[in-house]
A and B are shown apart, each in its own frame.
Chain A
Amino acid sequence: MDRIPKIPLAEWTDNFIAYLQSNFGASTQAFAEGLEGFIKGLQGLLIAAPAELILIIIVLLAWRLAGKKMAVFSVLGLFFIYNLGLWSVTMETIAMVISAVLLCMLIGIPLGILGAKNNTAHRIIMPILDFMQTLPAFVYLLPAIPFFGLGVVPGVITTIIFAMPPVIRLTDLGLKQVPEELIELGKSFGSTFWQMLVKIELPLARSTMLAGINQCIMLSLSMVVIASMIGAKGLGGIVWRAIQTLNMGTGFEAGVAIVIIAIILDRITQNLGTKK
């Protein structure tokens, strides 16, 4: 076994990334700038908006979608975060999560539809998703830097890679679970491909797809925190700095804020699928 020379996978990877960078660097740069504008804009908006307004919006959402108890929890939780002085970093984190989730849906839902409709596409997409989900996040956290630099953009991009698989998978699954008789119904009345999709398949796949989006939100939140290592800031940034300076108290405060946001986001989006 030892006689076989080491397969130079590391060199290949380096070469491949260098190749991508020299050939696609310009376009990724343009994309990164656009994305950065969007994220920064959203962050600015959330930070500039009065905290009371955002609190009211979140509490109303929690009340409508998750019930009274959750509304009370949201009031207390958000007030606690504000009190700790973590409000604007929390908004930074939420803006990143929203950006990542929107992009995940924008890319993931069409890919999920493609996978459900086309067997070849399905066979290509699924192993890539396995790869995306099992590859340790740190491994692609670093290559993101040469393409997108340090900051929120590589953070959000790596978050998208990490959080998109459930959107694709559950869109694909939801569409495949539509009962055969309802597919026959659509066809037997002469529905076109788009009519089938919009009037029958997507509405019936809705709750499964929303479960995927809920997972995507939770994964995004966890990844946005990790992405602070490459300068994504937000609540994760506080935690990262606290680790480096062994400042356990502030680290714990930011950690609690992350948990509160996670619970609120989870409960609100969990119930989306069950409402008519």
Chain B
Amino acid sequence: MIEVKNLTKIYGHNTDAALAMLKKGVPNQEIKDKTKQVVGVRDASFTVENGETFVIMGLSGSGKSTLLRCINRLIKASAGQILIDGVDVLTMAPKELEELRKRKMAMVFQRFALLPHRNILDNVAYGLEVQGVKIEERQAKAREVIEMVGLSGWEDSYPENLSGGMQQRVGIARALATEPDILLMDEPFSALDPLIRQDMQDELIDIQEKLQKTIIFITHDLDEALKIGDHIALMKDGEIVQIGSPEDILLSPASDYVARFVENVNRSLALTAASVMVRPRYVVHPKDGPRTSLNFMEKHGLSTLFVLDRTGKLKGYISAEDAAELAAKGIKDLADIIQDDMPTTNPNTPLADLLDVMAYTKVPIAVIDEDQRLQGTLVRGSVIAGLAGGRGGINNG
């Protein structure tokens, strides 16, 4: 577990005065004007649980990279605490710090940071080499992680012969080779083409499912943050302005700044079926009969109705025409006209995966839980409202 408490980084030679002003709540700009010291990170606190992907996101100059570098002390913070499993990184002796960097955490860089004079195998083995692991052993381990990132066969090539995406795979392999608990990733996919970036994100998610590392991931791309983050911290001017799950950030932005930030995001990646579904208020039971159903549909302007059994399980749906026909024949039981070819989904499915179905179905998508109980329905209106940034459609069906 990583706990960051009241972390502050001030750049300059005389940080004491600036620190005192900062504690009194003086804004960054005023501190800079009066003391010539620049605030990089301002009173940041957050906790990263083991095995989670914690995304720090913000625009350039927001202090996100500085914050990341404070965690492995590439940059020494001015005040605060960084507790890794209870031990404060800031007060570590140089040897302890070296040991921490060797065994416990590894970093992945924006511009890959591969050593041009080493082949892929030796690049990946670098961390183990620094640890003093014997050559056969470290090369065997390097081969193993190279295979994991899908680069088998490239061991003897040099970085200059690899594409950007492949180079970053090497960067990730190098970080995994020492089997650290913690991965610090500094905008690892920012320098890649959009399509390759998406592939790499998917692969990172796969790797993470297998290895369950604790990842701190920096990005300026909100779509990326929403896609891979278990939690997201949004930074502005060195401060964390909101921490929450992707949905928290999207659905309840803590400030206008966050709201403006999420305005243009591809919401379909973060929103799930559950967050935009309409509560199933208008449903019928088989014994209700066609007349009741027709009345219901007319009153609320619906062309189809979902049918539930007594325990709330979804049996299917009926259409208005079929109900009218049934009523004309005088049959009371709906059983004959119940159709069950409606699309269904579970509540956690991302909206992105449902848009395709949504486009072609004539019937609303039924959101059901593991027990087949109807949780809600997805109709075009509420989905569009969700994508457009309305506060979901939970109660306005």
Contacts and interface: CB of A to CB of B under 8 A. Distances in A.
A170 B278 CA distance: 70
Contacts of A195: 130
Contact of B113 (A184, A190, A191, A276): A184
Contact of A185 (B98, B100, B107): B107
A188 B101 contact: yes
A12 interface: no
B74 to A, nearest CB: 6
Contact of A190 (B101, B115, B117, B184): B101
Nearest to B105: A188
Contacts of B72: 188
B138 to A, nearest CB: 12
B223 interface: no
A204 B97 CA distance: 25
A188 B126 contact: no
A203 B113 CA distance: 14
Nearest to B116: A204
Nearest to A192: B98
B116 A189 contact: no
A179 B110 CA distance: 13
Contact of B115 (A184, A187, A200, A276): A200
Given A200-B115, A203-B115, A190 B98 contact: yes
B130 A191 contact: yes
Contacts of B130: 189-192, 195, 199
Contact of B117 (A185, A187, A189, A204): A204
Contacts of B274: none
Interface in B78-129: 97-103, 105-107, 109-111, 113, 115-117, 126-127, 129
B184 A188 contact: yes
A181 interface: yes
Contacts of A276: 117
Interface in B225-283: none
B101 A187 contact: yes
Contacts of B102: 189-190
Nearest to A189: B127
B111 A188 contact: no
B66 interface: no
B214 interface: no
Contacts of B101: 187-190
What's the interface size class on A, roughly? 10 to 19
A201 to B, nearest CB: 11
Contacts of B184: 188
Contacts of A190: 97-103, 127, 130-131
Nearest to B104: A190
B178 A187 contact: no
A189 B126 contact: yes
A26 interface: no
Contacts of A189: 101-102, 106-107, 126-127, 130, 178
Contacts of A106: none
Contacts of A188: 72, 74, 101, 105-107, 184
Interface in A153-202: 179, 181-182, 184-185, 187-192, 195, 199-200
Interface residues of B, number: 27
A185 B109 contact: yes
Contacts of A204: 115-117
B117 A203 contact: yes
Given A188-B184, A189-B101, A189-B106, A182 B126 contact: no
A184 B126 CA distance: 13
Given A189-B102, A190-B100, A190-B130, A182 B113 contact: yes
Contacts of A206: 117
B175 to A, nearest CB: 9
Interface in A198-252: 199-200, 203-204, 206
Contacts of A203: 115, 117
A216 B170 CA distance: 38
Contacts of B126: 185, 189, 199
Contacts of A182: 113, 115
B326 to A, nearest CB: 71
B178 A185 contact: no
A223 B74 CA distance: 46
Given A191-B130, A195-B130, A199-B129, A185 B113 contact: yes
Contacts of B127: 189-190
B111 A181 contact: yes
Nearest to B132: A195
Most buried by A among B97, B111, B130, B131: B130
A199 B98 CA distance: 16
Contacts of B99: 190
Contact of B74 (A184, A192, A199, A200): A184
Contacts of B178: 189
B98 A181 contact: no
A206 B106 CA distance: 27
Nearest to B158: A276
Contacts of B100: 190
Contacts of A200: 115
A193 to B, nearest CB: 10
8 contacts: A184-B74, A188-B74, A188-B106, A188-B107, A189-B126, A189-B127, A190-B103, A206-B117
Among all A-B residue pairs, the 6 with the closest Cβ atoms: A190-B102, A190-B101, A188-B107, A185-B113, A181-B113, A189-B127
Given A190-B97, A190-B100, A190-B101, 13 more contacts: A179-B113, A182-B113, A184-B74, A184-B109, A188-B107, A189-B126, A189-B130, A190-B127, A190-B131, A192-B130, A199-B129, A204-B115, A204-B117
